[in-house]
Structure 1
Amino acid sequence: MKKVILILISILLLILDNSVMPFLSIYGAFPSLLFTFAVLYSIINGAEDALFIGVVSGLLQDIFFSGGMGINALTNMVICLIAAYVGNGVFKKKKLIPVSTVFGATIVKHIAVFCIFYFLHYKVRLNNILIVAIYNSVIAFVAYKFVLMLSNVENVSSKWRFK
């Protein structure tokens, strides 16, 4: 049931990403609610759930991504697994590391997609990458508490540390 709920939330966020978020753009850049949710969920829930949400969110994003099926699935999966590793060693009730991770993950994802498309001889622009990363971080700051409540994790680390 948990996975069905995750898929339904992901579909809802995808719809919002493609229908509402473009109207909230700043200099042509708008956040990805689905990607932000996937990274935050991965930080909180660990590698197994990160793998699932990474692939699901990536495949859903690939539906609306012209040029290459599977690119978002691959990049989201890898980034969510890295986020899960970061989340293993942090105190989950604090927002600093999760928000910073979303910022970094957004930049890494855009650069990874750019590199993949560069080798496939597609033209992709990176001019709004910093605005998107900041925008995703602001969304992460607001949404983190809700994702934490959704996850309802009882095994919360008590110290700020990395393994």
Structure 2
Amino acid sequence: MRILVIGLIIFVNFILESTLFQYTRVFGVKPDFTIILITSYAIMRGSGFGGFIGLASGLLQDIFYGNAIGVNGLAYMLTGYLIGQSNENVFKDSYIPSIVFNIGAVFIYQHMFFLIAYFTKNQVSYTHALMNIMIPQGIYNAILGPIIYRLLLRLDEKEFMNNKIY
């Protein structure tokens, strides 16, 4: 049941991220709810779940909106995997890990995209990307991340999440 619910959450997040969440911009920057979702499950369940959710979410975005299939999938998967490596060393009921890891996940993901843009000869200024995208989006995700993390943690602890579907 857990995989079915997570798949539904990924799909609903994709729909909302493509439509409604475009209007949540503050100073031209919108939060990346996909990173919040990946980070939350990576903290709760480890690098396998974080990587899986990152790959599924990223491929969904690549298929519908990407120029090259796999770029978002790879970046999100690596982000989820790296954040999930600290799963066993994190106190899951605290808000602090969600804040710290959401900021870190934004920086990991955005740096991967900056490197891809750099190697494809796109003229992107690192200081511009850092000051106008990475830092504001990291702060925005750090504010919203603990709220969504707490909701997903409560959902993950429900008894029906452990049921098998036959």
TM-score strictly above 0.5: yes
Give the structure 1 partner of residue 162 of structure 2.
Answer: none
Partner in structure 2 of residue 105 of structure 1: 105
- Structure 2 unaligned runs (5+)? 159-166
2:46/2:86 contact within 8 Å kept? no
Which residue of structure 2 lines up, in the alignment, with residue 66 of structure 1?
A: 66
User: Runs of 5+ in structure 1 lacking a partner?
Assistant: 154-163
SS in 1 for 2:39: helix
2:153 aligned with 1:148, yes or no?
Answer: yes
Aligned residue for 1:7?
Answer: 7
* Partner SS for 2:75: helix
Aligned equivalents of 1:60, 1:76: Cα separation in 2? 11
Superposed displacement of residue 123, structure 1: 4.7
User: Secondary structure in 1 aligned to 2:86?
Assistant: helix
Q: Which has the higher helix share?
A: 2
Letter in 2 for 1:68: A
Distance 1:50 1:67 in 2: 24
Partner of residue 85, structure 1: 85
Give the 3 Å change call, closer, same or farther, for CA 65–80 of structure 1 in structure 2: same
- Length-normalised TM-score, structure 2: 0.84
Name which of 142, 146, 162 aligns with 1:137: 142
Q: Which moved more, 1:43-52 or 1:99-108?
A: 43-52
Aligned-residue Cα RMSD (Å) equals 2.0
Paired residues in the alignment total: 154
% same residue: 27
CA contact (8 A) 1:43 1:83 kept: yes
Cα distance in 2, alignment partners of residues 122 and 60 from structure 1:
24
Runs (4+) of structure 1 moved beyond 4 Å?
none
- Tell me the distance in 2 between the aligned counterparts of 1:57 and 1:105: 15
In 2, are the aligned partners of 1:14 and 1:33 still within 8 Å (CA)? no
Superposition TM-score, scaled by structure 1 size: 0.85
Q: Matches of 2:47 and 2:134 in 1, distance apart?
A: 26
Which residue number corresponds to residue 94 of structure 1? 94
